[in-house]
Amino acid sequence: MQQRNLLLNPQQRDQMRAAAQFNSQLMDAVRPHVVPGVTTDEIDRLVHDYTLDHGHTPACLGYKGYPKTICTSVNEVICHGIPNDRPLQDGDIVNVDLTTIVDGWHGDQSETFLIGEVSDEARRLVQVTFDSLYAAINALRPGSKVIEIGRAIAKVVRPEGYTIVRDYQGHGIGQAFHQDPGIPHFPTPGARFETLRPGVCFTIEPMINQGKVDTVLDKSDGWTVRTKDGKLSAQFEHTILMTEQGPEILTSTKEGPQEGHRF
Ligand code: MF3
Ligand code: CO
Ligand code: CO
């Protein structure tokens, strides 16, 4: 993390808007391809080529040595799943996380997709995770404390019996991929003192587990994070700009699930 309380001026806000808008256009292009039989490598290739064809830069490729363009986190994978040659199967849930650099500014978002017919339990997990992201966004006003995000997510998630991942969090974003403020998705003491002033840009990206909260990092690839108990995990992410009028979702898609969507 770097640079505390970085506030964007109007011109910088427009640059963030443009970066996030390209990223969401990319998500719209990807969505029809996330279906049974397609490999996550094929989705990765599509995102890579689309990004380059439009003159932009994949943010993840080479980031701290990450080997691919996107993260694809299937079933018990919480985050940072590396695309591979396994075809998506009926009943899978898969999070596709896209980040692009447009003229030096980052757009970052993810969605969890239901592949074919999934179990009622998987569908419910994805629904609750999606709803928790919007509950967090709706809880915010100019000058809100970061802890309001964790409180709103906990209020949606905990009554359902699910757990909120603590080991990975949202982040400030701009010309850096990850910067202050850190955005925990559960209430923490430190988040009481962090203020979301107009001009702050950040992500909210709750990772919600069906079972226990514990995470395991795959030692063989150094990236893939799984639930320790092997149960499912889901995630949704938006890039958000706090403005004088309230939070603005910069990564809204035209075709994707909108607030209130039923999976
Ligand atoms: N897109 C992820 C996030 O939401 C970060 C992925 S970093 C990578 O912050 F190196 F794993 F790609
Ligand atoms: Co992010
Ligand atoms: Co992301």
Å from CA of 99 to ligand 2 middle: 8
CATH assignment at residue 61: 3.90.230.10
> Which structural domain range is residue 183 located in?
10-249
Q: Report d(CA 263, CA 254) in Å as an integer.
A: 17
pLDDT tens, position by position, 20-36: 999 999 999 999 999 99
Average pLDDT over residues 76-98: 99
Task: Characterise 91 by phi-psi region: left (phi > 0), alpha (psi -120 to 50), beta (else).
Answer: left
Which has the closest alpha carbon to 243: 14, 33, 57? Answer: 14
pLDDT tens, position by position, 191-203: 999 999 999 999 9
Count of domains for the chain: 1
Q: Look at residue 1 and tell me if it is in a domain.
A: no
Q: Look at residue 3 and tell me if it is in a domain.
A: no
Q: Look at residue 147 and tell me if it is in a domain.
A: yes
Q: Look at residue 184 and tell me if it is in a domain.
A: yes
> Is the pLDDT score of 76 beyond 60?
yes
Task: For Cα atoms 202, 155, 142, give the angle at the middle one, nearest 5 degrees.
Answer: 35
The binding-site residues of ligand 1, defined as CB within 6 angstroms of any ligand atom, are: 60, 63-64, 66, 71, 80, 97, 99, 108, 203, 205, 223, 237
pLDDT tens, position by position, 145-180: 999 999 999 999 999 999 999 999 999 999 999 999
Q: Look at residue 5 and tell me if it is in a domain.
A: no
Å from CA of 188 to ligand 2 middle: 19
Residue with the smallest CA separation from ligand 1 atom 7 is 60
| Residues near ion ligand 2 (Cβ under 5 Å) | 108, 203
Residue 1's pLDDT band, with cuts at 50, 70 and 90, is: low
Å from CA of 97 to ligand 2 middle: 8
Q: Look at residue 254 and tell me if it is in a domain.
A: no
171 CA closest ligand 1 atom index: 9
3-class DSSP state of 52:
helix
98 CA closest ligand 1 atom index: 1
> Which of 61, 71, 73 should be mutated for ligand 1, with most atoms under 8 A from CB?
71
User: How far is C-alpha 229 from the chain's CA centre?
Assistant: 22
In this prediction, residue 3 carries a pLDDT of 54
Average pLDDT over residues 203-228: 99
| Residues near ion ligand 3 (Cβ under 5 Å) | 97, 108, 237
Q: Look at residue 112 and tell me if it is in a domain.
A: yes
> Which of 51, 61, 79 should be mutated for ligand 1, with most atoms under 8 A from CB?
79
> Which of 40, 61, 95, 108 should be mutated for ligand 1, with most atoms under 8 A from CB?
108
pLDDT tens, position by position, 114-152: 999 999 999 999 999 999 999 999 999 999 999 999 999
Å from CA of 120 to ligand 1 middle: 29
Q: Look at residue 87 and tell me if it is in a domain.
A: yes
